[in-house]
Structure 1
């Protein structure tokens, strides 16, 4: 049985401000809305954050993302539905989310630097970091997904 945990926003409302500032900056960055949502969904799947998975899938559908791509996201390496750019973003998401395993490999970094400008790589890395912060908050405080009214 889960016990109720604190709501950080109630206990310390200012704690979220820098994370929201980063999130809002990323929404205006070189990352497309779709690329940022793919990062958010994939990292949330890896981290097991049900709240964020549900929230970002709902947002992706509202933004016009195709259901078949969302369903294939956890098996993107075996799927023909993702562009080369998206595959690199997803691989970076996995390596950075699992940073203690290997870090961001030199091989992947070199692939990325050939395909993306430096500012784009910075935005990808910061997007991955941002959702990982939210996932850790969600998991630590046992945030539960809210059923969709759709």
Structure 2
């Protein structure tokens, strides 16, 4: 199995633009594990094996429990996620599946119980950044274990 192409080499300016987007999203101050839960959940929805692998390992390295990682797809059904995390996970799902129903008012209001307007936009940037990465990874045929040099 081989990736379709090395997008970093094919279009370095596009890669640099994505790195700038990611750098901005990371610089907003969102807690690392929450930021990575966003990445993990969006990647699960989008079916991006490369990103699921990378962000799952990152979560484990930063002390996330295996139970929470394994149960992330069923976050509504288990009591191991906080109300704040649940609000963010629901927003992540809505934004990732934006064409299916947008972001309902109750989702916005639930997130705003925990985050300011600025932080809401920060969350949107994080969600959109991972959705962009997922689409690039899937479209170029990336998979866990493949290595595309910078």
TM-score normalised per structure 2: 0.92
1:30, 1:119 within 8 Å by CA — same for their partners in 2? no
Root mean square deviation of aligned Cα: 1.4
Equivalents in 2 of 1:11, 1:26: separation in Å?
A: 24
| Deviation at residue 4 of structure 1 after TM alignment | 4.7
Alignment of 1:1-150 (within 5 A): 4-146=3-145
Equivalents in 1 of 2:61, 2:113: separation in Å?
A: 32
Residues 23-65 of structure 1 deviation map (CA, whole Å, 9 limit, x = unaligned): 1122221311011100000000000000000000111111111
TM-score normalised per structure 1: 0.92
Structure 2 runs not aligned, ≥5 long: none
Residues 77-103 of structure 1 deviation map (CA, whole Å, 9 limit, x = unaligned): 001110000000000000000000011
- SS of the equivalent of 1:5 reads coil
Post-superposition, which runs of at least 4 consecutive aligned residues in structure 1 deviate over 2 A? none
Structure 1 runs not aligned, ≥5 long: none
Equivalents in 1 of 2:34, 2:46: separation in Å?
A: 18
Q: Give aligned pairs, total.
A: 146
